[in-house]
Structures are given as C-alpha cells and as structure tokens.
C-alpha cells in the first residue's frame, strides 16, 4: 500500500511542478509574441512558437495526469495511464510542424530582409532566458521519472537554447546591423528541435506498439528464469510497458515433473524478475514437462 501511496505523492509533486512551469511559460510566451511583432524579430517569434508548444505540452501533461488518475474499470483494466504516452506523441508531432514552419519563414526572411529593433529584442530574450532557467530548475528533478515530464523538460531545455540564440542575434544586429542573423538563429532553433522531437516520438511509439521498454534485455530475463532451480524451459515471454516506469511481463515457465513445489518456483521467479528488472506486474504460467500431453499448469500473478 505504501508503494502506491508514494507513487501518488510523486505524481502530485509532478503536477505542481508542471503547473508552475505552465504559468511561467504562458505568461512569457505572450510577452514574446508581442515583442516579436513590435521589434520585427522572427527569432523572437520562433522562440515564442516554441514557448507555445511548451505551454501546450505542459497543459497536455497536466490533463494526462488527471486522466491517468481515473481508476481501472471493466472496460480499461489497466486504467487510463497510457493517455500520458498519447500526450507525448501528440506533443512531438505538434513541435515537428512548428519547427518546419519556422524554417520556411526563416527562408522567406533571408530572401526579403526586414528591419529589426535589436534593443527590445535583447531585453525580451534575456527575460525569456530567465524564465526558461527557472522552469528547467523546477522540472529537472522529475524528468527521469516519466516520459511526460521528460518531454516537458526537453522542450523547456530547447527553449533555453533558443533564448540564448536570440540574445546573440540581438547583440550582433545591434553592433553590426546584420539583420539576416535573426533569420539564421530562427532557422537554427527550428533545426535544433527536430532531432529531439524525433527521439520523443520514437520513445512514445515504442510504448504504444508494446515494444520492450528501454533498458530491459529479454535474453537476460530468460537466462535469469532458466537459472532458477527446477525450471527446464521458458516460452511466450512478453515484456512491455503500460506507461512510463510501469512495466509488465507475461511468460510460460516449464518446470520438471519431479519439481517438488511449483509455488516455490513461482515465488522465486516472480521475486527475481520484479526486483532485478523493475517489472511491477508479472503473470507467470507454470507448465509441467508433459503439459501439452494433458498435464496441469499453475498460474501466478504478481503486482
């Protein structure tokens, strides 16, 4: 019971962090949009576009946490935890299209440059950097706990680099008058985000396709089960995750007909797998040597 309670406390802590980051990001996104339009800076607008996807990401993450809290029912036996992964995938796709739009807009600006007010651009970019640093500090500690938090952290992180790029561009324009630097930085921000978007999408798709979770080696699990005394063979081994850090396994374990206690073997396999491979829910079917010739099987579950 205490493990579940701790998990709920961690989630509540994540929600508070997301809410603070969301309020900071939204407030500053509005300032950057206004600033970008007033100063004529595409780099600022590019950064604002990122902040918009950030705000959307954080809002989706918050909604995902609320929905994931809904208990399991007869229709959805694992509950709604996977909504968090759908949110991550949606985020990645949204960010991808924004990055492409910024690249297109940067190209248009390079062809036909427009005047830029560098002082206003610099002030807003410095403030943006401060907001990003505060949000990063808030989200950093939780970024390893869930894909959702990792996605939010990655986007704020890319925003911080965006703000630094805008600051450099503003200083260069101020002292050299090279307005094309603004478009260059806007394009660089767009390109910077694309690979990160791809990583997040790939991780989300792995969960949705019920792939083996990152960091888990099926061969090692198989060897570990076979090493248990009395186990003769392993088949139909499946490991997947419902959502971040919620791994599930099902397996058929063949034991020797002479094995004295099937329940003891079941307990050993369950204990070993759940502790060594961070699998919180195991379904293990025990089969005796001649099971397919009509002998019985035992099944065990572990939460």
- What average pLDDT does this structure show over 137-166? 75
- What average pLDDT does this structure show over 248-275? 77
Model confidence pLDDT, tens digit, residues 111-136: 877 778 888 888 888 888 888 888 88
Sorted by where each starts, the structural domains of the chain and their CATH numbers stand as 2-208 (1.20.1510.10), 218-302 (3.30.70.1350)
Is residue 173 a contact partner of residue 167, using CB atoms and an 8 Å limit? no
Q: What is the pLDDT of residue 3?
A: 46
- What average pLDDT does this structure show over 252-260? 73
Q: Say whether pLDDT at 14 is over 80.
A: no
Model confidence pLDDT, tens digit, residues 194-206: 887 888 888 888 8
62 — pLDDT class (breaks 50, 70, 90): confident
Is residue 269 a contact partner of residue 231, using CB atoms and an 8 Å limit? yes
- What average pLDDT does this structure show over 40-57? 78
| 49 burial type by CB count under 10 A (0-12 exposed, 13-18 middle, 19+ buried) | buried
Q: Say whether pLDDT at 9 is over 80.
A: no
Model confidence pLDDT, tens digit, residues 283-300: 888 887 765 544 444 555
Token pair 């560098």: residue: 118
Q: Which structure tokens are listed for 213?
A: 């979770």
- What average pLDDT does this structure show over 147-169? 78
Q: What is the pLDDT of residue 109?
A: 79
- What average pLDDT does this structure show over 57-61? 76
Q: What is the share, in percent, of the chain residues with pLDDT greater than 70?
A: 85
Please state whether the predicted TM-score (pTM) of the whole model is above 0.75: no
Q: What is the pLDDT of residue 112?
A: 76
d(CA 68, CA 12): 12
Q: Say whether pLDDT at 54 is over 80.
A: no
Q: Which structure tokens are listed for 217?
A: 């080696």
d(CA 71, CA 303): 16
To 5 degrees, how large is the angle CA 54–CA 55–CA 57? Answer: 60
Report how far apart, in Å, the C-alpha atoms of 91 and of each of 16, 83, 99, 154, 224 are.
20, 12, 12, 11, 38
Model confidence pLDDT, tens digit, residues 205-230: 888 887 777 777 778 788 878 777 77
To 5 degrees, how large is the angle CA 158–CA 209–CA 253? Answer: 125
């Amino acid at each position: 019971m205490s493990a579940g309670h701790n998990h709920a406390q961690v989630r509540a802590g994540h929600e508070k962090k997301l809410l603070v980051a969301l309020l900071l990001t939204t407030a500053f996104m509005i300032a950057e949009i206004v600033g970008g339009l007033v100063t004529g800076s595409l780099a600022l607008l590019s950064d604002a576009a990122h902040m918009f996807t950030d705000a959307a990401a954080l809002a989706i993450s918050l909604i995902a946490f609320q929905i994931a809290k809904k208990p399991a029912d007869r229709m959805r036996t694992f509950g709604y935890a996977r909504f968090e992964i759908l949110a991550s995938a949606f985020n990645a796709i949204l960010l991808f299209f924004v990055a492409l739009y910024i690249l297109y807009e940067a190209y248009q600006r390079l062809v036909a440059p427009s005047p830029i007010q560098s002082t206003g651009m610099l002030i807003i970019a410095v403030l943006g950097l401060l907001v990003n640093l505060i949000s990063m500090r808030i989200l950093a500690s939780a970024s390893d706990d869930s894909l959702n938090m990792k996605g939010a952290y990655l986007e704020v992180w890319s925003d911080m680099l965006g703000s630094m790029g805008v600051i450099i561009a503003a200083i260069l324009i101020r002292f050299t008058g090279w307005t094309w630097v603004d478009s260059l930085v806007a394009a660089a921000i767009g390109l910077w985000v694309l690979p990160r978007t791809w990583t997040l999408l790939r991780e989300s798709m792995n969960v949705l396709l019920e792939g083996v979770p990152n960091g888990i080696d099926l061969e090692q699990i198989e060897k570990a089960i076979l090493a248990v005394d009395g186990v003769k063979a392993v088949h139909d081994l499946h490991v997947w995750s419902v959502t971040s850090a919620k791994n599930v396994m099902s397996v058929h374990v063949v034991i020797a007909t002479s094995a004295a206690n099937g329940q003891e073997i079941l307990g050993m396999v369950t204990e070993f797998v759940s502790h060594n491979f961070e699998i919180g829910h195991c379904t293990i079917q025990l089969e005796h040597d001649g099971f397919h010739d009509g002998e019985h099987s035992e099944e065990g579950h572990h939460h």
